[in-house]
A and B are shown apart, each in its own frame.
Chain A
Amino acid sequence: MDFSFDEDQRELRAVVADFLANHATSQQVRAAAEGDGFAAEQWGRLTGEMELTGLAVAPERGGAGASFVEVGIAIEEIGRTLLPVPYLSTVIAAAVLSHICSDDVAGPLLERIAGGAAAAVSLPGVLPSFPAIYGGKARKDGDGVVVDGEVAVVDGATAEILVLATRCGEEPVLVAVEAGASGVAVEPLATLDQTRRQAAVRLESAPATVLAAGEDAVARARDLLSVGRAVESVGAAARCLDETVAYLKERVQFGRPIGSFQALKHRCADLATELEAARSTAYYATWVVDGAPEELPVVAPLAEAVAGAALLHVAAEAIQMHGGIGFTWEHDAHMYLKRAKSNELLAGGYRGLRTLVGERARIL
């Protein structure tokens, strides 16, 4: 039994981290976030020379054939920086296509993703009472299927391929829609978290490909997204805590670094402990995707709830411990809080996820 990363995986992390250190500085992230919300040049290199979107795509579809553990490493490193690129969305779309859909429909889409095409996913939140991102209706139209409706899609404005959960009659289905197809109108939305934009996607008899059908397929797709967001949260929380600890060592009040005050030290210790437990859980979840898929229904929402909450705590405490500077637009702390809260709201709330874990594991 081995819970450590092998040499290739450590090398992958180093290469991604090295690229981001030079191309996803705070200044670069802010420039993209405050512009159109898309770091196009970095995205071109991450998907081009670095081939990161094809990591877990099968070699016969043009990918590197790695596991979701490798994908998780890249998600985590990009998550540290909040670089506005649709990496999480694209690799989750790829994971949905590889794990849930048959190769004859998914294969051609996977080839495009491995080649650098951006994708986005729109899946229902945990609570059925939050239908905002579970919209649209699919219907048969001649030999094919078309979709009508309006959905808010994370990273929708940059995606070529949209993977949507919708209903065909009463049956939940996963469909793929080409963003550039006739009957598809994509309107960028301003978002609380500027580093991760959404778009209103209006569909009028938009041609669609059915990828998979049934509630189970939609639930599994959601689980994959949960794992992705869990490991991303770990990356973001780690950076946020690092910055906070560094500030506590520098900032002097009452003639000493404020990091020497136990009131702050003990809270940092609690945050570090929560983060490391979340890290272990998220890493475990990335392994489960390929290594023990039967555990995914319980482990995925568990990991997202635990890691998402850790990010939320760290980001909130980061602002508090930075004091006034943490409340300014100029400081990065707010960007992490906005990502943290947006993730929670998009997931349907961590209490809801925990309830889902309870139901799936038949705890009570």
Chain B
Amino acid sequence: MDLRPTAADEAFRAEVRDWLGEHLRGEFAALGGAGGPGREHEGFETRLAWERELGEGGWIGLDLPPEHGGRGAGLDRQVIWAEEYARAEAPARVNHMGEHLLAPTISHFGTDAQRERFLPPILRGEELWCQGYSEPGAGSDLAAVRTRARLDGDTWRIDGQKVWTSLAMHADWCFAVVRSEPDSERHRGLSYLLVPMKQPGIEIRPIVQITGTSEFSEVFFEDATTDAANVVGEPGDGWKVAMGTLGFERGVATLAQQIGFGRELDAVIASARETGATRRPEIAARLVDAWIELRTMRYQALRSLSDGQPVSASMSKLLWGPWHRRLGELAIDVRGADATVIEAPYTLDGDQALFLYTRADTIYAGSDEIQRNIISERMLGLPRG
């Protein structure tokens, strides 16, 4: 157990800092960390240009093996990159789905031809991806997917509907879990397809959220098509591939996310000082608790990176989701009645948006209740109900 960084890690950190210092300038720096959950509509075109800048610098897909275009960076390096990125207040990334979910999936489960076709445009920031998992009847219960795909000669034909798709209106491609075997049930008969988004068979309808803004959409497939080769893994084996994708999303992002959380908490504390709310014992206690719990989450994240237990991803989610939601409550509680007035027609300021948007944190990517099922069944071994 030694939590000090090694000299090599420190050198890498300096390299990251230097690069960000040189390139995060002008319009990119002016964005000041814009975008991200609850703010995806902010500065999109500039963020897309920034993604390409990152691609040129070789900073996309650090974790991929060199033969697939990455740097083969271990967890320590990935964490350093993510931490420095957050510290520099660089803009939120526009292709999280492509870089962190689809690229490792193709790297791991894809064919050579798929790697050659799909990885380079992700690594250059040229093709954006969205995720087609949830459906109106398949939320927590993903295996209830009903969107159908059938092979027609050299083409998959797809009909159905996906929902809660982030950034669908900007995406070039979608990775989707679809039912490719008629009359199959649950986890069997699903396939993991790569579907181009810009085609007549796809219609996107933005969902207006409780914040009044839209980041998520409904995506309708009506005789949408994709090439027969665009299936990852064997047809019918989509569940295994989809679960693999979920497994790639753990650990590293948490530590960087905590830097953003720390910045939000600092802002709430500053606001509380300004309004005098820190003199209220109840508010003071909640602010201190938020600070302590954020520290605790950091230690937990550091330990799960070393231990690498899969279930710790569920615990991490169960810690940060409710924490962030409580922070949203604190953000407007320290403001008091002032926070009840918004800008017409319905534009929220940062605190109000945080209060409302964080309701999603305990629902998406596996609701708190699903995480509790996973922890109690897979880690504690309690029987299924």
Contacts and interface: CB of A to CB of B under 8 A. Distances in A.
B306 A3 contact: yes
A354 to B, nearest CB: 5
Given A2-B2, A354-B292, A280 B384 contact: no
Nearest to A245: B380
A46 B280 CA distance: 49
A280 B303 contact: yes
Contact of A363 (B287, B307, B375, B379): B287
A9 B1 contact: yes
Interface string A207-249: 0000000000000000000000000000000000000010011
Contacts of A264: 382
Contacts of B289: 354
Nearest to A256: B383
Contact of A272 (B284, B300, B375): B375
B315 A277 contact: yes
B76 A1 contact: yes
B297 interface: yes
A287 B299 CA distance: 12
A262 interface: yes
A257 B383 contact: yes
B interface bracket (residues with beta carbon within 8 Å of A)? 35 or more
A3 B303 contact: yes
A76 to B, nearest CB: 13
B296 interface: yes
Interface in B351-374: 369, 371-373
B381 interface: yes
Contact of A284 (B3, B5, B377): B3
A106 interface: no
Contact of A261 (B295, B307, B312, B385): B385
B376 interface: yes
Contact of B2 (A256, A273, A291): A291
28 contacts: A1-B306, A4-B307, A6-B1, A69-B1, A259-B382, A265-B372, A265-B373, A265-B385, A266-B376, A268-B376, A269-B376, A276-B315, A278-B296, A280-B296, A280-B304, A283-B303, A284-B303, A287-B3, A291-B1, A302-B295, A354-B285, A354-B292, A357-B288, A358-B284, A358-B288, A363-B287, A363-B288, A364-B287
7 A-B pairs with least C-beta separation: A269-B372, A265-B376, A3-B306, A358-B288, A269-B375, A280-B299, A280-B303
